Chains A and B, each alone.
Chain A
């Protein structure tokens, strides 16, 4: 196969991004093309069907299911309020009465004379979709949602937890190789997206949540800390719905790994700017990576200056990051690309490349174990 290497994560100073914001069910779009939106603006809303509460009326009244029609005080489509009588049965010439009450407020959806079951549908649940990023509405999907575009700086992380949020970027470490501890976090971090260096410790995450920080962007994170914070072990990388009080984006991987200099520099250059971040990660077919979007404003109809997304593949001189032991996390550039299969220490035969690390040392690495650092 032509592309044996892993395409890298994007770290881009300027790119025209378009985000689709779609409702889970059809509803109403409340903005129009050309509208300027902020992250918290609602762009579409709808109502999800209410919860369903089945009540076995026949069992409650102690009557055969086929007699349920005679006992019902309400018919299909009627609205009821919680506690209201919906069925009544009489026995012994009307001396004893049994009744059945609605457990929720809603409408009677169906009455079954086979099972004796009545289905009550609760009130509709309102759902809204926010803009998430600052930008301009460029397309309306009728009754479904919108597309919003913005020029922005854009950083893809490798793994994240927590959902969409936004805040001003605040750099709290002197460089990309400093560990983010609770000492660096104080009340001034409230509402901010905090940037750390090579790792964040569990206590720092707890402190960030306590002071009300919006998010943390950092190079590495320890799996043991992740388990301690979540209270469980993540088995499959499908995240985004965790509620730990702060969104976390890891740019390099698990363990103590310097944030790529380029990523750190880009964040530092944008300190004080708004960043829209999402920790949602899905590593399956249809991969989703966590992201940091720093909206830049500007005319979204202007032509994109540089075509960033051309896939050139690996060539000699390509900047790469090794993504597996024994050189995990090290950065360098490709110095040789022999075409033939080569035997690894493990005994496997694989296509390899030679990488020259920052310190000048060279090593042989399987092509599958590097990713390109894309711009």
Chain B
């Protein structure tokens, strides 16, 4: 297709080829604004008997054709472009995580420094990081070699050393990689791609060590100096290699690549891109989470110390998910931690078998209310664990000492502070089946609140039909379209959570509130410690959140973001749920006494209308 001026783009077709489902969306510019028109889906066809991803794409596009009435495919099953009247599309774009996505191994010299920078570069590009090899990872060299040989990644990112620093260690790692003689995961007809992004002085020696065995690409150092990361060039090369090697090896992708108007992006890379772009555009801090069947991805943009430049981080919790990995959530979180969210007692042996049965038959859905409550309890723990991993990873650069001598740098390496600040966080966006398709939106809101424990005032939203991947890649072609559809069609605004921070030993009043709703009605009252309250505040006619003026006065030295005990006057955002006042305190703990725990859970669930009363009275 010919490239066209972004301003002339009126019709956009986008697909996301997931590991099980290929999703297609159609966006059109109508009355001056871009809106989602329809969505279609079909099973992904990467595996036998089809072994051609384009079959699934054509099926999904076929569904879009049927639903929209727009003819998109010609008689030879090619996408018609450009659009004219009710035929064709101006742009076709796609993302992909089919066939296991992009699987990488990364290597660095010091695990918590260049190793972590390399991991950040790979994760940010949308990869699954299979392992991090480092000189100090406590494995013996022959164990590292065995591991590299065993893994069969799609590519390796090799880093280490600051520019001008010692070359020995990074060359030593190159020697280990060379000895392992690693083979690529897909296909045998090409050499494994390795990106070298380490000390530039060692580039020649690394090249001499590896050039005969692998397809070596050298880019700028990801850590040219201790105090700064330079992840862009490595990420760009990862995307290039993803297209050149990984995608080219997957069945049907060569054909798909010839159809698209922009490079195919790995699905999580595209999601990260849209979250970063929207957060940067509004100058806000955002956390996004996508909880899937096998993995949970967490994305965040924070602005440490108010810096205008947002710091983007992504983590993948490989074995935290709601179907394939559900048993692992149970194993990692432990039974009591899952059961603490369930407002009745259940038999342990039966529960264990139920979890395993979900693992071996991952496509089943909860039919009874009891099953739904139990599944959402597991989701809270999966989200909580994934977020802990994210907080531990999204840190200030380790090994960097501010206003001290460089000699102290290594001492600090173990204690890089997280940049995740729940008090300054503006919006929390959830996606993935358990959050996007919860029968009641209040359930999604409470799952996010209980697992992420937002502090102060935080907006909540869910991705309605998981179209963030397509919008991510669209943002590289037509940013305005991506942004408009993101705000109006992709996000379902739930409302906001108001949660004072601090502990109160004896209970009693902790928050006075006065909220003036758009219709002039005023809600006033006092929240006692341990209470939750829902105040209705909906959406306007455009589907955007209504606003309400609020005066919030935390008591007993609690903090809502302006300091302990300081009153906050602000504007609160509504949504399909409304304003949730959460006076349970932070850090949050559930009552230890079982009866009291169940009583409080029921009280909160009834107040927020999470489940029907009869389900809680069982």
Contacts and interface: CB of A to CB of B under 8 A. Distances in A.
A262 interface: no
B59 to A, nearest CB: 9
Contact of A233 (B209, B327, B372): B327
B332 A51 contact: no
Contacts of A3: 43
A1 B45 CA distance: 14
B357 A255 contact: yes
Interface in A67-119: 109-110, 112, 114-115, 117, 119
B226 interface: no
Contacts of B205: 114
B349 A350 contact: no
A345 B367 contact: yes
Given A1-B43, A284-B294, A346-B368, A235 B328 contact: yes
B324 A283 contact: yes
Interface string B422-457: 000000000000000101100000000000000000
A224 B354 CA distance: 12
Tell me what chain B mostly uses at the interface: helix, strand, loop, or mixed. Answer: helix
Nearest to A250: B360
Contacts of A283: 324, 359-360, 362
Interface residues of B, number: 63
Contacts of B47: 285-286
Nearest to A159: B360
B146 A51 contact: yes
Contacts of A346: 365-369, 371-372, 439
Nearest to B359: A237
A237 B361 contact: no
A98 B369 CA distance: 75
Contacts of B368: 325-326, 344-346
B42 interface: yes
B330 A366 contact: no
B172 A284 contact: no
B167 interface: yes
A365 B141 CA distance: 55
Contacts of B528: none
B325 interface: yes
Interface in B171-205: 171-172, 175-176, 178-181, 205
Contacts of A360: none
B20 interface: yes
B144 to A, nearest CB: 9
B536 interface: no
A22 B42 CA distance: 33
A347 interface: yes
A324 B171 contact: no
B134 to A, nearest CB: 15
A285 B18 CA distance: 10
B478 interface: no
Contact of A223 (B168, B355, B371): B355
A52 B349 contact: no
Contacts of A65: 168
A5 to B, nearest CB: 9
B175 A285 contact: no
B313 to A, nearest CB: 25
Nearest to B373: A346
A236 interface: yes
A236 B439 contact: no
A306 B612 CA distance: 51
B65 interface: no
A255 B355 CA distance: 11
B361 A52 contact: no
Given A53-B142, A236-B327, A112 B171 contact: yes
- The 5 A-B pairs at the shortest CB distance, nearest first, are namely A235-B328, A347-B439, A346-B372, A254-B353, A223-B352
14 contacts: A6-B363, A52-B180, A115-B172, A233-B327, A234-B356, A237-B359, A254-B357, A324-B357, A325-B371, A344-B365, A344-B367, A346-B365, A347-B440, A368-B363
Interface of A: 1, 3, 6, 49, 51-54, 65, 109-110, 112, 114-115, 117, 119, 121, 158-159, 222-224, 226, 233-237, 253-255, 281, 283-286, 323-326, 328, 344-350, 365-366, 368-369, 371
Interface of B: 19-21, 41-43, 46-47, 98-100, 141-142, 145-146, 167-168, 171-172, 175-176, 178-181, 205, 209, 294, 319, 324-325, 327-328, 330-332, 349-350, 352-372, 437, 439-440, 612
